[in-house]
């Protein structure tokens, strides 16, 4: 009577052979060997430290480029290195997160270039009151967008009120900021053209959208000794420039900074 043979179980273990070599009939199969070598192969194929988007090394390279562009404030550079920019953009664009480029975030809005974010915050920090206190104090941000600049501001401020007129962006920013647990940030769905009077005055005001002029509401909500930075259309020019406004006991002192391009400032709630 012939011996009954069992059906093999699948998948069958495969012996690892040197190129051009065939397995001898008497050589035992050794499933442990491929498993052990697979583990070694997996470690060899692992992403090298510092290459992943969640790595501080990637953000450090971005910060080094900002330093080369003239950003010298140590606290600001630390803040830019701390905040994960890739967490605020669509995954399809994540590979561009730490390049110096603006990227779409939906609803005809963009996330600003890291260099522009850094430059505007550096201008705020250069104000006399900010230098004296060593930080931005109470901040009003006009145009939350995806929440990235808000997260950077929070590293340097006592508190941040950020106003966004587009409901979908407001909700998106809230979701994206939540994992960072920034208890000093408050998001407001409202008309940024009006600022946010309930918490005025503000030591620092920064806008991520440009109008024909700096709204009077923003000026009135700026504390004495405070500084405002906003993109504004320039008469006779096709584009915008950063306008820096300092409020003193005698009134407002204005300076014109470099040319920029921001989305237009709109009124109302979307």
Q: What positions carry a catalytic annotation?
A: 112
Whether the Cβ atoms of residue 138 and residue 225 lie closer than 8 Å to each other = no
Q: What is the dihedral of CA 230, 233, 235, 239, to 10 degrees?
A: 120
**What Cα–Cα distance (Å) separates residue 216 from each residue in 159, 212, 249, 255, 263?**
23, 12, 17, 17, 20
Q: How far apart are CA 183 and CA 178, in angstroms?
A: 9
Q: How far apart are CA 144 and CA 39, in angstroms?
A: 45
E strand or H helix that includes residue 122: helix 114-125
The DSSP annotation for 133-154 comes to HTS--EEEEE--TTSHHHHHHH
The full length of the chain comes to: 270
**Judging by beta carbons within 10 Å of its beta carbon (0-12, 13-18, 19+), is residue 109 exposed, middle or buried?**
buried
Instruction: Say whether the peptide bond before residue 11 is cis (omega within 30 degrees of 0).
Output: yes
């Amino acid at each position: 009577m012939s011996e009954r043979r069992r059906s093999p179980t699948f998948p069958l273990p495969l012996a690892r052979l040197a190129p051009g070599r065939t397995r001898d009939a008497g050589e035992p199969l050794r499933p442990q060997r491929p498993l052990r070598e697979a583990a070694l192969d997996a470690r060899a194929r692992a992403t090298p430290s510092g290459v992943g988007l969640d790595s501080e090394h990637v953000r450090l390279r971005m910060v080094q480029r900002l330093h080369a562009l003239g950003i010298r404030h140590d606290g600001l550079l630390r803040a830019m290195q701390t905040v994960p920019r890739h967490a605020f953009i669509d995954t399809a664009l994540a590979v561009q997160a730490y390049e110096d480029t603006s990227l779409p975030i939906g609803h005809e809005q963009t996330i600003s270039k890291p260099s522009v974010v850094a430059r505007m915050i550096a201008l705020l920090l250069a104000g006399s009151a900010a230098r004296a206190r060593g930080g931005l104090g109470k901040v009003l941000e006009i145009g939350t967008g995806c929440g990235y600049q808000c997260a950077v501001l929070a590293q340097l401020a006592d508190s941040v009120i950020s106003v966004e007129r587009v409901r979908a962006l407001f909700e998106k920013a809230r979701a994206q900021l939540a994992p960072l647990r920034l208890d000093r940030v408050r998001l407001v769905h409202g008309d940024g053209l009006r600022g946010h009077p309930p918490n005025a005055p503000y030591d620092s005001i920064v806008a991520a959208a440009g109008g024909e002029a700096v709204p009077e509401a923003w000026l009135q909500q700026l504390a004495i000794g405070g500084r405002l930075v906003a993109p504004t259309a320039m008469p006779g020019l096709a584009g915008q420039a950063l306008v820096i406004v300092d409020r003193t006991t005698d009134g407002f002192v204005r300076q014109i900074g470099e040319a920029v391009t921001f989305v237009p400032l709109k009124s109302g709630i979307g």
